[in-house]
Amino acid sequence: MADPFYITTAISYPNGKPHIGHAYEAIAADAIARFQRMNGRDVRLVTGTDEHGLKMAQTARAAGRDTLEFASEMSSHFREMCERLHISYDAFCRTTDQRHHEASIALWKAMEASDDLYLDRYEGWYSVRDEAFYAEGEITEGEGGVKLSPQGTPVEWTVEESWFFRLSKYRDFLIELNETPGFLEPESRRNEVLAFLKGNDLRDLSVSRTSFDWGVPVPGSDGHVMYVWVDALTTYLSGIGFPDRDGDFAQYWPANLHLIGKDIVRFHAVYWPAFLKSAGLPVPQKIFGHGFLLHRGEKMSKSLGNVVDPLELSEHFGVDPLRYFLLREVSFGQDGSYSADAIVTRCNAELANSFGNLAQRVLSMIFKNCDGRLDKSQPVSEADVVLVSCVAENIASMRCSFESYAFSEGLDAWMRGVFACNQYVDEQAPWGLKKTDPDRMVAVLMTLFRCVRDLAIAVRPVVPSSVDRLLSQMGIAEGARDFAALEDAEWFVQLAASGFILEKPEGVFPRLEQPEGDGEG
């Protein structure tokens, strides 16, 4: 049985349409999922929408809409984003689904059975935008005396009856957990959480609301709905069948990776493990808080007019170039910047000019000079062996980087393999060998064919559609496009012996152009 790998994105709050940050996280999660599938893992990727909470109810009311109807419409935009960006999710969960309500109630009852829930009165600061409670010491004063959360969002003083979770009981457990190497990454996120845990008396957490009714009802407590983060985090369980503890849940839990934005690390590295510990469930193996995407170095906001629809970007530049750019340009875990001109520059230099042109030149020369036939009979030279070895070493380096989510570093290693192939083409000059040494020309082209195939398979988690079109042209079977295929020493001999004939190749990485107008797509 294949080794399971369970990965989740954050559960998106759909009070507005998806933005580039949602797309960035979904693409990264998908690349990880595809990478692990290519490693032979039994992968489960879960995403979805978090549709409860005061902010959602207020947004629907302001639009004059029924809340569930509004939530359904907005959730559909996130599902569409996943489809359009080729996100290979296994489950798209909505917190308004009945099965999710059942999972949330089961988790609540498990925490209640541990005597970790009690009824009291909440008085404190609450941010509707963050759906988060903040301590007095975390509040700052903004312009006009407006009270602000650590995220810079307005907070309001809230007083209401509430169920509380005994978070303070788990302080030592949470410190030890977050000090565990590899649990919370990158290191900057871990340091922030540990500073919070060690620098404060951890207060018990209000986990129900009575001022609105848009949420999962608290069992046995009329008028109370669960705090939206209890409900939202439970999606990671309901997405694999909880409260049924057999089947998928037994197979995939605990999660291998929760991939989230850095602004919600506290919910995942403090509240979530405490809930799970209380409920007698294992905690996730890793939480990774990635950085923000900035537009030309600025945070995106409607007032600045720099909010860009990721689907419009994918329409103009193509899905795979957008995926490649986002994982290549930004050091994963840190904030990064993007712009239309940066997408064009990066993708033209690397996908179109370097790898795309390499593949097209090699396949075109085989089509024209070898009648599209592969030839396994020509002897190899030292230069051929050196190139094949160089490509293999850089692919191995890429895979190692991807295991630790260092995508940009991994793609840099992949590009070194591409550059080595292009240098080999220039040095061997197969167009000249056609007249002077046709057998050597064939050997050079066959070496390049093998290297292009290996490089294509390696980058498949990032640009799957384009690579699959290329590999299909090259006669590579759909079942022979994973990392195990790279270890198959006989694949080229078998393909050549099969009588495969290369048709006239078509490029899969065309050059990109700037959008018309202001250049910001």
Both 49 and 115 in a single domain? yes
**Domain limit, last residue, from 260, 291, 322:** 291
Range of the domain at 358: 339-497
Would residue 92 count as lying in a domain? Answer: yes
| pLDDT (0 to 100) of residue 306 | 61
Both 356 and 276 in a single domain? no
Write the CATH number for 416: 1.10.730.10
Both 348 and 217 in a single domain? no
State the average pLDDT for the chain: 94
**Domain limit, last residue, from 273, 291, 309:** 291
Both 233 and 356 in a single domain? no
Both 140 and 205 in a single domain? yes
pLDDT greater than 90 at residue 359? yes
DSSP string, 30-76: HHHHHHHHHTT-EEEEEEEE---SHHHHHHHHHTT--HHHHHHHHHH
Strand 42-49 to 205-206 pairing: unpaired
Sign of the dihedral through C-alpha 403, 40, 273, 282: negative
User: In the chain, how many domains are there?
Assistant: 2
Q: pLDDT tens, 395-421? A: 999 999 999 999 999 999 999 999 999
Both 344 and 280 in a single domain? no
Report CA dihedral (133, 134, 135, 140) to the nearest 10 degrees.
Answer: -150
Both 364 and 243 in a single domain? no
Both 343 and 282 in a single domain? no
Which residues touch 397 (CB under 8 Å, ≥6 apart)? 410, 413
Would residue 298 count as lying in a domain? Answer: no
Rama region for 463: left / alpha / beta (φ>0; ψ in -120 to 50; rest):
beta
| pLDDT (0 to 100) of residue 145 | 85
As a whole number, mean pLDDT of residues 469-480 equals: 98
How sure is the predictor about 488, in pLDDT bands with cuts at 50, 70 and 90? very high
* Token reading at 381: 């030279």
State the distance between the two ends of the chain, measured CA to CA, in whole angstroms.
46
Would residue 214 count as lying in a domain? Answer: yes
Q: Which residue is it, tokens 């904030």?
A: 335
As a whole number, mean pLDDT of residues 17-40 equals: 96
Euclidean distance between CA atoms 485 and 470, whole angstroms: 16
Both 39 and 165 in a single domain? yes
Report CA dihedral (304, 305, 307, 310) to the nearest 10 degrees.
Answer: -160
Would residue 512 count as lying in a domain? Answer: no
Q: pLDDT tens, 423-458? A: 999 999 999 999 999 999 999 999 999 999 999 999
Q: Which helix (H) or strand (E) holds 442?
A: helix 438-458
Both 344 and 287 in a single domain? no
How sure is the predictor about 150, in pLDDT bands with cuts at 50, 70 and 90? confident
Name, of 11-15, 113-117, 154-158, the range with top average pLDDT: 113-117
Both 29 and 86 in a single domain? yes
Name which of 446, 477, 482, 465 is nearest 363 in CA terms. Answer: 446
Count CA atoms closer than 13 A to 45's CA, side-chain side.
22
pLDDT greater than 80 at residue 92? yes
Would residue 250 count as lying in a domain? Answer: yes
Q: pLDDT tens, 303-312? A: 555 667 899 9
Would residue 300 count as lying in a domain? Answer: no
pLDDT greater than 60 at residue 519? no
Would residue 508 count as lying in a domain? Answer: no
Is the pTM above the cut of 0.85?
yes
The 8-class DSSP code of residue 137 comes to G
Both 213 and 358 in a single domain? no
Neighbours of 308 (CB within 10 A): 18
As a whole number, mean pLDDT of residues 135-153 equals: 88
Q: Which helix (H) or strand (E) holds 124?
A: strand 117-127
Per-residue H/E/C for 305-322: CCCCCHHHHHHHHCHHHH
Would residue 440 count as lying in a domain? Answer: yes
* Token reading at 148: 């602000």
List C-alpha distances in Å: 457 to 219, 477, 487: 51, 12, 12
Strand 257-261 to 4-9 pairing: parallel
Euclidean distance between CA atoms 198 and 287, whole angstroms: 19
pLDDT greater than 60 at residue 517? no
Strand 132-134 to 117-127 pairing: antiparallel
| pLDDT (0 to 100) of residue 220 | 95
pLDDT greater than 80 at residue 298? no
